[in-house]
Amino acid sequence: MGFEYHQPSTTAEALELVARFPDAEIIAGGTDLMVRLNKTRRVPPALISLRRVQELTHIENGSGLRIGAAVPLRDVATHPAVAAGFPALVDAIRVFGSPQIRNMATLAGNLCNASPGADCAPPLLIYDALVELRSAAGVRELTIEDFILGPGATALEAGEIVTAIRVPPPPPAARSIYLRKGRVQMDLAITGVAARLEMDGATCGAVRIAAGAVAPVPRRLPRTESVVAGAAAGAETWARARAEAQHEISPISDVRASEQYRRHLTGVLVERSLARLASTNGGGT
């Protein structure tokens, strides 16, 4: 098996290569790509690695964060600004694969792979993250909803790469969390729930809830959110959110879990995440 392997060092060079080899595969950490190539025994004409592209290896902390597409997850999780402002992302990375995987895998790769259960997607959804795409034609930014279109399908166009994930600064009083369940510690999600809550005294303020592995794409749960927003913090509200979430999602049955259990478990995680956020806020139960 042989293919060309390119290691550009600038974004411009990378884009040039992408244009030159339309059938090439872009490789970041390779933790999805290599598995896929091994499985399909496909030999692409070229691999274009982003790991040495200087501009993509940084996390910029200005107004919000700009996380370069080549930053490994380990560096995302240990960055002080991520820990301070985006704890749900840290939660997701903490349960993500194994240390070896976290040393290689990237946020951008997780989104580009567009798995319904991508662990970083629900946190990025509740943080209103934007995907920064670049091609010879210029730059554009898409929301996660507009970027992930279906299982394995994204809005990436020919000649385009993801250069960064941008996350706006969080509201000062917001708390957030990501809870996920698998069959064993190292597993793909049966379901994962990210939630962000702002409290207004004993009342719930703005709330965002997103879930993975329960629909063709990771998604927000607006109906569940509206049950919570403006409601009194407490067990009753959390239970209503649980019930709503179970209905709102559209999971499938597979070898990992049945549809029924995914509904049940997602409800439990919604209830738990809200209860935990409210209690760390000093409100509710």
Ligand X SMILES: Cc1cc2nc3c(=O)[nH]c(=O)nc-3n(C[C@H](O)[C@H](O)[C@H](O)COP(=O)(O)OP(=O)(O)OC[C@H]3O[C@@H](n4cnc5c(N)ncnc54)[C@H](O)[C@@H]3O)c2cc1C
- Single residue of 68, 85, 109, 284 touching ligand X by CB under 6 A: 109
Residue with tokens 């030999």: 43
235 lines the binding site for other proteins (CB under 8 A):
no
Which residue has the CB atom at the shortest distance from ligand X? Answer: 109
Nearest distance in Å: CB 22, ligand X: 13
22, 23, 62, 185: which one binds other proteins (CB under 8 A): 185
The span from the CA of 6 to the CA of 47, in Å, is 6
For position 113 contacting ligand X by CB under 6 A, the verdict is yes
Q: Using CB distances below 5 to 8 A depending on partner kind, what does residue 68 bind out of other proteins, ligand X, none?
A: none
**Of these, 77, 221, 265, 274, which contacts other proteins (CB under 8 A)?**
265
- Distance from C-alpha of 16 to C-alpha of 182, rounded to nearest angstrom: 40
- Residues in CB range of 222: below 8 A, 6 or more apart: none
Distance between CA 73 and CA 153 in Å, rounded?
A: 22
Task: Give least dist CB 33 to other proteins, A.
Answer: 15
DSSP designation for 72: B
Supply the DSSP string of 222-272, one letter for each residue: HHHHHHHTTSBPSHHHHHHHHHHHHHH------SS--HHHHHHHHHHHHHH
| CB of 191 vs ligand X, minimal distance in Å | 12
Q: What are phi and psi of 229, to 5 degrees?
A: -55, 125
Q: Are 32 and 151 contacting, i.e. CB atoms less than 8 angstroms apart? A: no
> Binding of ligand X at residue 162 (CB under 6 A)?
yes
Tokens standing for residue 7:
């290691």
Size of the residue set binding other proteins (CB under 8 A):
20
CB-nearer residue toward ligand X: 74 or 272? 74
Pairwise CA distance, residues 83 & 75, whole Å: 11
CA distances from 137 to 47, 68, 97, 223, 281 (A): 22, 20, 36, 38, 46
Looking at beta carbons only, is 36 or 223 nearer to other proteins? 36
Helix axis angle for 259-280 and 235-248, nearest 10°, is 150
- Residue from 81, 101, 206, 261 in contact with other proteins (CB under 8 A): 261
Residue 71 near ligand X by CB under 6 A? no
Query: Is residue 161 a contact point for ligand X (CB under 6 A)?
Result: yes
Q: Which entry of ligand X, other proteins, none binds 158, CB below 5 to 8 A by partner kind?
A: none
119 binds ligand X (CB under 6 A): yes
Q: Quick check: 28 binds ligand X (CB under 6 A)? A: yes
Closest CB to ligand X among residues 67, 104? 104
Binding flag, residue 29, ligand X (CB under 6 A):
yes
Q: Which two tokens stand for residue 204?
A: 């719930």
Q: Name the site residues for ligand X (rule: CB under 6 A).
A: 25-33, 35, 50, 69, 96-97, 101, 104-106, 108-110, 112-113, 118-119, 156, 161-162, 188
Q: Name the site residues for other proteins (rule: CB under 8 A).
A: 1, 39, 41, 98, 181, 183-188, 255-258, 261, 264-265, 268, 272
